[in-house]
Structure 1
């Protein structure tokens, strides 16, 4: 599986996707900004509702370094929708509710590629309900916080060595919980700053392999995220936006797979923390339209080819986005397109053996190359 910042695609919960999410922690024209920073609700007026509608085309290719006949390719087309609502309940208090498809994707390589014993196909979907509250201290400062209820569905198929060429499937669902906090400072009409934090959450899956007496038990950690965002009104018509995010992926040392024998085996991950940098510009073209453009870069959580695994190939990521927004009656409409270059990730072959009869999972020796096209529109009333 190939995803933004390790496991998740953030575009479905981005407030300003036309600028690659730059400045999301201070962007108050979309209720979706509460996802990054709940303190933004204090500057959204009496009521604001945003619906994010998006589709993406994800493609991953694998080039086998030993046997070209064992090359693989996986592609998926998936839609997504998220809903956000902020409402002022008193002079200083706003309440908000976000229901977001926080991430996940689906890939199917088939059973003929080099890594089929460990991965035929994989799907991970995560939906989060995030109620929140903001409090406006004065005209310049606001604080906010919320709780997150995260539901995840996991499914994986593989061809285990000791089961011959038979493809078996495992699936499970799980709930996890966390919280988020934020602060926003409006220095002037032309300058905003925001700082926010989203806590770690952990999903545990115990999925039976269909048609066997085996199972896969594994945990997936979603890391802490710290976001610093700013907006600068360069002129009456031009806003410049920027964000720096820290994703604490160093918590993910290993994935323990229990195939039904003893204590299971560990797939070493040994990930590093990820830094994400985003910049963007929002320009007022005329009284009807605003144009947007943005770019983001994420560092790689793992540069060691011997620690890459077939389910999640990760490297540096680059995102390029364009957008345009207008108003139809009282509805704000924000269109965007984004191209994500997932880069080339080298993988060195390694094998893992579990149990007395030697159920074997094999890695691959070659290069993964991935990209994603995103298209979406957001409606705000």
Structure 2
């Protein structure tokens, strides 16, 4: 029973690593990997990163972000031992390696309106994380992870105040809803759900040719209680119950964003952002159950830094071109502390985009490639010793009117 509980909860945090916070779903300047989002004012989406940007958005602005992601995760086994004693009884031998591919859509809606000379109000809805993966039942870790789905969406009401022509500040509330569902060769769960709450705040200084912004999003924590799990593997001695309940905790980390932009001339704007993701709060994944106490999956993650640079070039009256690059540090480099639900390492992102107008409607299109790198994992007791390689393709468009 204890081993089964561990298998369940180690799956539950999938798709919540720093790079898989799904920030692409809430990028304001599509095609720049998020560079300069904390000072960008051409789309309403910037109010997600920094609510103080609303002061410079005029009387009203609405942006709809639409995106499709194509996630590919490959596992290459390095040291198989089919007689390790950890196989679930009466299950077929595994093949070692595994491949998981997922195609998922995402949408975000962002609205800003001016209510007085100095005050703007806004409401944002977007995804803060989420993905789905299916490795199948024929790989070395199938008893620990077969399929996993995690989705977290957030409603973000916000307000900004104009101090003077240069300075503005903003605050907001985070109302988040999370869903998890997992299965292995031995069991499958019902969907677990929870609400979580937090806040965000920001400040911005905008001059004639440059701007700088600093913003903060607080940590939000989900507590999934009483998730029902049904056993599906054979149990010859009938020593285990057919179902049980279990609970766990997940989090989206606190994020600090420092963004800047500089207008080189009438055509070229340079953009940059530095973000701090406080993943050191993710020390472990606790497991709650009436029959087994004191279980926790050791994570021991480090804080993550993300560095992004980009450029926005006005090609002519109809088109603007964009490009961006970002790098994220790894939250965990120790192979013995990696796990199959969430292999994490350094991440590199490359993006291009273009902007045009259809009457008064602004259309931003982008493509982004995320290299999740190669992550080694060594869990000898669980017979998981191999390498994960991951990548994501993003294609999307933002429409502003």
TM tier relative to shorter chain: over 0.9
State the shift of 1:199 in Å: 0.4
- How far 1:88 sits from its partner (Å)? 0.0
**Which residue, out of 157, 169, 189, partners 2:189?**
169
Counterpart in the other structure of 2:63: 50
Structure 1 residues 322-356: Cα deviation after superposition (integer angstroms, max 9, x where no partner): 000011000000000000000000000154xxxxx
> Structure 2 CA distance, aligned partners of 1:73 and 1:258?
31
Q: Residue 94 of structure 1 aligns to a residue in which SS?
A: strand
How far 1:314 sits from its partner (Å)? Answer: 0.4
Q: What TM-score comes out, normalization by structure 2 length?
A: 0.88
Give the secondary structure class of the aligned counterpart of 1:40.
helix
SS at match of 2:301: coil
- TM-aligned CA distance change 1:170 to 1:348, over 3 Å: farther
Asked if 2 retains the 8 angstrom alpha-carbon contact of 1:2 and 1:370, the reply is no
Question: For structure 1, which segment, 8-17 or 251-260, has the greater mean C-alpha deviation from structure 2 after superposition?
Answer: 251-260
**Partners in 1 of 2:17 and 2:188 — Cα distance?**
28
Q: 2 CA distance for matches of 1:70 and 1:146? A: 47
C-alpha separation in 2, matches of 1:185 and 1:213: 57
From 206, 213, 217, the equivalent of 1:194 is 213
User: Which residue number corresponds to residue 8 of structure 2?
Assistant: none
- CA–CA distance in 2 between the matches of 1:30 and 1:20? 15
Among 90, 100, 106, the alignment partner of 1:74 is 100
Contact 1:317–1:341 (8 Å) recurs in 2: yes
Aligned to 2:393: 373
Structure 1 258/350 Cα, relative in aligned 2: closer, same or farther at 3 Å? farther
Partners in 1 of 2:96 and 2:150 — Cα distance? Answer: 25
Which of 37, 45, 52 is equivalent to 1:32?
Answer: 45
User: Which residue of structure 2 aligns with residue 291 of structure 1?
Assistant: 321
- Equivalent position SS for 2:344: coil
Q: CA deviation at 1:208?
A: 1.4
| Matched ranges for 1:317-356 at <5 A | 317-351=347-381
Aligned length: 364
1:255 to 280, 285, 298: 285
CA-to-partner distance for each residue in 1:150-190, whole Å, 9 max, x for gaps? 0000011123xxxxxx442342000000000000001x221
How far 1:103 moved relative to its partner? 1.7
The aligned runs of 1:1-381 (5 Å cut-off) are 1-2=14-15, 5=18, 7-67=20-80, 69-159=95-185, 166-186=186-206, 188-206=207-225, 207-211=227-231, 212-258=242-288, 261-351=291-381, 362=382, 364-381=384-401
How far does the alpha carbon of each residue in 1:64-87 deviate from its partner, in whole angstroms, 9 at most, with x for none?
A: 102493101111000011000000
Task: Give the distance between the partners of 2:245 and 2:104, measured in 1 at CA.
Answer: 28
Supply the distance in 2 between the matched residues of 1:245 and 1:135 (Cα, whole angstroms).
Answer: 24
CA contact (8 A) 2:35 2:271 kept: yes
Residues 253/7 of structure 1: CA separation in 2 closer, same or farther (3 Å cut): farther
Supply the RMSD in Å over aligned alpha carbons.
Answer: 1.4
Higher mean alpha-carbon deviation, 369-378 vs 167-176, is at 167-176
User: Structure 2 CA distance, aligned partners of 1:198 and 1:267?
Assistant: 26
The DSSP-based 3-state class of the residue aligned with 1:261 is coil
SS of structure 2 residue aligned to 1:26? coil
* Cα distance in 1 for residues equivalent to 2:175 and 2:362: 29
- Alpha-carbon distance in 1 for matches of 2:328, 2:42: 26
CA contact (8 A) 1:86 1:95 kept: yes
d(CA) in 1 for partners of 2:279, 2:268: 35
Partner of 1:359: none
Deviation of 1:93 (Å): 0.2
Q: Deviations over 1:22-60 (max 9, x none)?
A: 000000001000110000000000000000000010010
The CA distance in 1 between the partners of 2:50 and 2:349, in whole Å, is 22
Ranges in structure 1 where 5+ consecutive residues have no aligned partner: 160-165, 352-361
- The 2-side partners of 1:295 and 1:302 are apart by 22
Shift in alpha-carbon separation, 1:364–1:158, aligned structure 2, 3 A = same
Deviation at 1:3, TM superposition (A): 5.5
* 1:214 shift after superposition: 2.1
